[in-house]
C-alpha cells in the first residue's frame, strides 16, 4: 500500500523534527514546510493526505490563516493543529477556521498516530490495514466472549453503546465493529462529545453554509455529513451538554440534518456507536442524561471489563506491547524477568490497558537490549509495586486503616493505597466496610 503523504507546516525546527520522526516511525511519508507560501504550493501540486500545522507561539490563532487558503483549493483536506498553549478561545477559532482536530503538547506518539489515522479514515480512505489492523488483545474467557460478540454486532447495523472504565479500549472496540461491518469502506468518524463547545455544536456536527456567521467564508461539512454511509463514534457520550443531546436525538430520529444557515435537507445513512466511562443508567436516574436518547443508543450493549478483572490477559498484552515498541525503537527486547512479570501481574492497573502500554513505553526509554528486570522499570512505578507488595495479608484491615487515617476521605485513602477510587470502592463493597460516625455530643 502506498504511504499516505503528510505535510507538516511549522516554523519551529525542533517541533518539525519530533513530528517527522514520530510519523515516519508510524509508516507515513513526510514533507515539511516552514512558510505558508511553500505549504500552499505543495498542497496545490501534490494534494497530501493530511496537513499538520505546528503552532508554538502563545497567539496560535496567527497560524490559522493558512487553513482557509488550503481549503479554498482542497475543501475537504484534513488539517490538524499542534498547539504549545491551549485555550477555549483557540478551540473555537480552530473549529471556525476549519481545523479538524488539535493536540496540545506534550502528547504521546500513540495519541498523535491515532489522531492522524482517525482523520485519514474520516476522509474516506480505507486504512483498516495501515499500518496495523485493529484488534483486541487478550486470551482470557472474558475477551474471547467480547470478541465473539463484537463480530455478531458488526454483522448487524444496530446502534451500539460501549461502556467501561477509562483505558479499557472503547474506541478500539468501536473501530473493530466498523472494520468488520458492511460499512468498512466508508468513513469512521470519531467525535469527542466532552470537547464540543456548546456554541459550536451545530456547526461542528452538522456543518454550515457560507455566510452563516461572521468568518464563515466557505461552506463547511459537519462530522455527520463527512460520515455519511459510514459510522459515527460518539466518545464520552454522557459528557454531552443537554443542548447537544437534544440536537443529537433529533438527528437520530429524523435521519437528516440541516447545515447551519442552510435550508436544504441532507438525508443521513450512518451507523451510531457511542461510548462512556460513566454509568449511563445512573446518569439517566439523576436527570443528567436524556432517557429518550439513552433508549435510542442502548440497543447493542458491550461492556469492557477493567484489566484487574482479566489479569490472564496481562502477559499477552505485554508481549504485544513489547513487539510494537521493538519495531518503533528498533530494539530486540525479549520480555521481562520472572520477578518483574510476577510483580506486574499483582498490580491492579487502575488506568487499565492504556496505563500498561504507557508504562511499557516509559520503560523502553532506558533499558537493556534483551530483558526487562525490576531495576529497569521507571522509579515511580518501582515504588508503587513495592508498596503493593507490602500490603498485609489481611487486606480488609489495611483498607480500613487507610480510611481511618484519612478520616474517611476516600480520594486521599485511594492515593495512600496507590489505587484508583473505583478500586477502593470495590474493596469497600467486597469487605462490607461501613463508615460509622459518632453522633454529636
Report which secondary-structure segment, H or E, holds 87. none
Higher pLDDT pick, 425 / 147: 147
**Residue 102 backbone phi and psi in degrees, to 5:** -150, 145
Q: What is the DSSP string of 379-409?
A: HHHHHHHHHHHTS-S-HHHHHHHHHHHTTT-
Q: Print burial letters for 338-372: b (CB count within 10 Å at least 16), e (below 16).
A: eebbebbeebbbbbbbbbbbebbbebbeebeeeeb
**pLDDT tens per residue across span 25-50:** 777 888 888 888 888 888 888 888 89
**CATH no. for residue 350?**
1.10.8.60
Best-predicted range by mean pLDDT among 5-19, 24-38, 115-129, 309-323? 309-323
Query: Residues 335, 371: contact at Cβ < 8 Å?
Result: yes
- Distances from the Cα of 46 to the Cαs of 38, 118, 381, 420, in angstroms? 12, 21, 47, 49
Calculate mean pLDDT across residues 403-418: 85
Asked if pLDDT for residue 1 goes beyond 80, the answer is no
Asked if pLDDT for residue 438 goes beyond 60, the answer is no
User: What CA dihedral angle connects 293, 295, 301 and 304, to 10 degrees?
Assistant: 50
Same domain, 47 and 149: no
Cα(112)–Cα(169) distance, rounded to whole angstroms?
17
DSSP SS3 for 437: coil
Q: How confident is the model at residue 71 (pLDDT cuts 50, 70, 90)?
A: confident
Domain around 414: 395-430
As beta bridge partners, residue 6 has 30, 50
Is residue 125 in some structural domain?
Answer: no
Same domain, 19 and 138: no
Per-residue pLDDT, 393: 53
Domain boundary among 272, 305, 338: 305
Q: How confident is the model at residue 182 (pLDDT cuts 50, 70, 90)?
A: very high
Same domain, 153 and 103: no
Same domain, 142 and 263: yes
Is residue 439 in some structural domain?
Answer: no
Same domain, 100 and 228: no
Cα(214)–Cα(195) distance, rounded to whole angstroms?
22
Calculate mean pLDDT across residues 192-206: 84
- Per the structure, the count of domains in the chain is 4
Cα(113)–Cα(110) distance, rounded to whole angstroms?
5
Cα(284)–Cα(250) distance, rounded to whole angstroms?
18
Domain boundary among 268, 290, 305: 305
Same domain, 101 and 220: no
What single-letter DSSP state applies at residue 439? P
Per-residue pLDDT, 131: 36
Calculate mean pLDDT across residues 420-428: 78
Higher pLDDT pick, 56 / 224: 224
Is residue 182 in some structural domain?
Answer: yes
Per-residue pLDDT, 164: 93
Cα(331)–Cα(372) distance, rounded to whole angstroms?
12
Indicate the average pLDDT of the chain: 83
Is residue 203 in some structural domain?
Answer: yes
Cα(57)–Cα(74) distance, rounded to whole angstroms?
26
Same domain, 48 and 180: no
Calculate mean pLDDT across residues 188-204: 84
Amino acid at each position: 500500500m502506498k504511504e499516505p503523504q503528510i505535510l507538516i507546516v511549522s516554523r519551529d525546527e525542533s517541533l518539525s523534527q519530533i513530528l517527522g520522526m514520530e510519523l515516519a516511525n508510524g509508516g507515513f511519508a513526510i514533507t515539511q514546510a516552514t512558510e505558508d507560501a511553500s505549504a500552499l504550493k505543495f498542497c496545490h501540486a501534490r494534494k497530501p493526505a493530511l496537513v499538520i500545522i505546528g503552532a508554538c507561539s502563545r497567539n496560535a490563532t496567527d497560524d490559522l490563516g493558512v487553513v482557509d487558503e488550503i481549503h479554498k483549493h482542497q475543501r475537504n483536506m484534513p488539517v490538524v493543529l499542534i498547539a504549545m498553549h491551549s485555550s477555549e478561545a483557540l478551540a473555537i477559532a480552530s473549529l471556525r477556521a476549519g481545523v479538524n482536530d488539535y493536540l496540545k503538547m506534550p502528547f504521546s506518539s500513540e495519541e498523535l498516530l491515532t489522531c492522524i489515522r482517525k482523520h485519514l479514515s474520516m476522509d474516506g480512505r480505507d486504512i483498516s490495514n495501515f499500518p496495523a489492523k485493529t484488534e483486541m488483545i487478550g486470551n482470557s474467557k472474558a475477551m474471547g466472549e467480547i470478541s465473539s460478540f463484537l463480530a455478531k454486532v458488526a454483522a448487524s447495523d444496530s446502534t451500539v453503546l460501549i461502556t467501561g472504565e477509562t483505558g479499557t479500549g472503547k474506541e478500539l472496540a468501536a473501530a473493530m465493529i466498523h472494520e468488520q461491518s458492511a460499512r468498512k469502506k466508508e468513513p469512521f468518524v470519531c467525535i469527542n462529545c466532552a470537547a464540543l463547545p456548546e456554541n459550536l455544536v451545530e456547526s461542528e456536527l452538522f456543518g454550515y453554509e457560507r455566510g452563516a456567521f461572521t468568518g464563515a467564508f466557505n461552506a463547511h461539512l459537519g462530522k455527520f455529513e463527512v460520515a455519511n454511509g459510514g459510522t459515527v463514534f460518539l466518545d464520552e457520550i454522557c459528557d454531552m451538554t443537554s443542548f447537544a443531546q437534544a440536537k443529537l436525538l433529533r438527528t437520530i430520529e429524523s435521519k437528516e440534518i440541516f447545515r447551519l444557515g442552510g435550508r436544504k435537507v441532507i438525508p443521513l445513512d450512518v451507523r451510531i456507536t457511542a461510548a462512556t466511562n460513566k454509568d449511563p443508567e445512573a446518569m439517566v436516574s439523576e436527570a443528567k442524561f436524556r432517557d429518550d436518547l439513552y433508549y435510542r443508543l442502548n440497543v447493542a450493549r458491550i461492556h469492557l471489563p477493567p484489566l484487574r478483572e482479566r489479569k490472564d490477559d496481562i502477559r499477552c498484552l505485554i508481549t504485544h506491547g513489547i513487539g510494537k515498541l521493538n519495531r518503533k525503537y528498533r530494539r530486540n527486547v525479549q520480555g521481562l524477568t520472572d520477578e518483574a512479570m510476577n510483580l506486574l501481574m499483582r498490580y491492579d492497573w487502575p488506568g487499565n490497558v492504556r496505563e500498561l502500554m504507557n508504562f511499557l513505553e516509559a520503560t523502553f526509554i532506558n533499558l537493556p537490549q534483551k530483558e526487562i528486570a525490576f531495576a529497569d522499570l521507571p522509579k515511580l512505578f518501582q515504588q508503587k509495586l513495592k508498596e503493593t507488595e507490602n500490603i498485609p495479608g489481611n487486606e480488609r484491615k489495611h483498607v480500613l486503616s487507610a480510611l481511618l487515617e484519612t478520616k474517611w476521605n476516600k480520594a486521599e485513602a485511594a492515593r495512600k493505597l496507590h489505587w484508583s477510587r473505583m478500586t477502593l470502592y470495590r474493596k469497600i463493597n467486597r469487605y462490607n466496610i461501613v463508615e460509622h460516625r459518632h453522633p454529636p455530643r
